[in-house]
Amino acid sequence: MFDAVADVQDGELALRGEHAPLLLIHGGAGVERASMTPQMEAGARAALELSLRKGYAELEAGKTATDAVASAITVLEDDPLFNAGKGAVFTHDGKNELDASIMDGSTLAAGAVAGVHRVRNPILLARAVMEHSPHVMMVGDGAETFATEQGFKLVDPSYFRTDRRWQELQKALKDDAAGVPLTERLMALKHFGTVGALARDSEGRLAAGTSTGGMTDKRYGRVGDSPIIGAGTYADAACAVSGTGWGEFYIRVSAAREICMRMTELNESAEQAGKAVINDEIPQMGGDGGAIVLGADGSISMPFNTEGMYRGWIGADGVPHVAIYSSDVLDLPQPMH
């Protein structure tokens, strides 16, 4: 809960027609305690806090929700612990193919890239597609040609490689060769690690973004939910969502848009809408994962149906709040204008 000082500050801001900035992030669902070391936990917490601080600094400086989302996600893309940017998972044929999207809820402008393998920060390229092209989504070589035209310096594909992700692929390939069915193998790959961010700026604008390497052992050209507007990412004037999990299911239920639609049209709270899609609809179909949800009134929910999800938020008190497992208590701010 907000403390008394934050409550007063929020009330004063509301009277002036301003909004207390808020930033939420996730670093992926599917975290399992058994596969974590104390070093990994400490590293993840530190990275989440850094991401929150960097993104929040943008909001405090009066920048837009889109600026904060891009900045928070860039930190996590650069950290090898997360499955986005450096540290992305490998495809079946041993490559890193990255997907990302971003949406400005105040204008419904959106940008996305899929299947890029030489762009260090795919979220920044997604933003360039949104702001400097007439398109919403660009893929593969075309997206990278556009990146060069936009002044992005491409990196060697080996930049994304980490040994941990390589070993995860080797295990998946072994299971593949042993005839373990694809659905079972995907179920076993709990370490999703996609990253996402949502922000509300001082003018009350919302934005959402998501970035990922996808799923280990995915086939060449497979695109998940993260770069698909309405599936992995969505923002409008009332609501913002970023998802993480087994992407095929998120696409099939239009997860992010469905959560927002429940909030705007069915009048559900962030908690009710998030729960309905993440804890009911998706598991009922056989999928799993989580999401972060932000309402324009500052209401928040962070539902997931796995053992853990890297997650955190920062608001008026300027202190990052982060959590990993479902047993971790993460106090959320009260809804407020």
Is 194 a known active-site residue?
yes
Separation between Cα atoms, residue 267 and residue 260, nearest integer Å: 10
Residues 6+ apart with CB under 8 A from 21: 56, 59, 60, 68, 199, 200, 201, 202, 315, 316
E strand segments, the chain: 22-29, 98-104, 109-116, 137-139, 195-200, 206-212, 233-235, 239-245, 289-295, 300-301, 308-314, 321-325
8 Å CB contact between 244 and 192: yes
Q: Which residues pair with 199 in a beta bridge?
A: 23, 207
| Residue 35 DSSP class | G
Shortest distance, CB of residue 253 to ligand ASP, whole angstroms?
A: 13
- Backbone φ and ψ for 228, nearest 5 degrees, come out as -100, 115
Q: Which is nearer to ligand ASP, 21 or 214 (CB)?
A: 214
Q: Which is nearer to ligand ASP, 211 or 299 (CB)?
A: 211
Query: 226 to 265, contacts with ligand ASP by CB under 6 A?
Result: 226, 232, 244-245, 247
Contact region for ligand ASP (CB under 6 A) — 50-58, 168-176, 189-197, 293-301? 189-197
Shortest distance, CB of residue 42 to ligand ASP, whole angstroms?
A: 21
Q: Which of 66, 74, 194, 212 is catalytic?
A: 194
Shortest distance, CB of residue 305 to ligand ASP, whole angstroms?
A: 13
Tokens of residue 3, six digits: 């403390």
Between strands 233-235 and 98-104, the pairing is unpaired
Shortest distance, CB of residue 212 to ligand ASP, whole angstroms?
A: 5
Residues belonging to the chain: 337
Q: Which is nearer to ligand ASP, 146 or 192 (CB)?
A: 192
Q: Which among 293, 289, 224, 214 is positioned nearest to 258, based on CA atoms?
A: 293
**111 is an interface residue for ligand ASP by CB under 6 A:** no
Shortest distance, CB of residue 245 to ligand ASP, whole angstroms?
A: 5
Shortest distance, CB of residue 251 to ligand ASP, whole angstroms?
A: 8
Shortest distance, CB of residue 115 to ligand ASP, whole angstroms?
A: 11
Q: Is 248 left (phi over 0), alpha (psi -120 to 50) or beta?
A: alpha
Task: Show the site string, 195-224: x = touches ligand ASP by CB under 6 A, - = not.
Answer: -----------------x-xx--------x
Q: Which is nearer to ligand ASP, 121 or 299 (CB)?
A: 121
Q: Which is nearer to ligand ASP, 105 or 247 (CB)?
A: 247
Can you tell me which of 51, 71, 83, 216 binds ligand ASP, judged by CB under 6 A? 83
Q: Which residues pair with 91 in a beta bridge?
A: 218
Q: Which is nearer to ligand ASP, 58 or 79 (CB)?
A: 79
**193 is an interface residue for ligand ASP by CB under 6 A:** yes
Task: Show the site string, 10-49: x = touches ligand ASP by CB under 6 A, - = not.
Answer: ------------------x---------------------
Separation between Cα atoms, residue 229 and residue 43, nearest integer Å: 30
Query: 283 to 302, contacts with ligand ASP by CB under 6 A?
Result: 289
Residue 42 CB: number of other CB atoms within 10 A? 10
Count Cβ neighbours within 10 Å for each residue of 276-286 and write b for 16 or more, e otherwise: bbbeebbeeee
Catalytic residue positions, numbered? 194
Contact positions vs ligand ASP (CB under 6 A):
28, 83, 192-194, 212, 214-215, 224-226, 232, 244-245, 247, 289
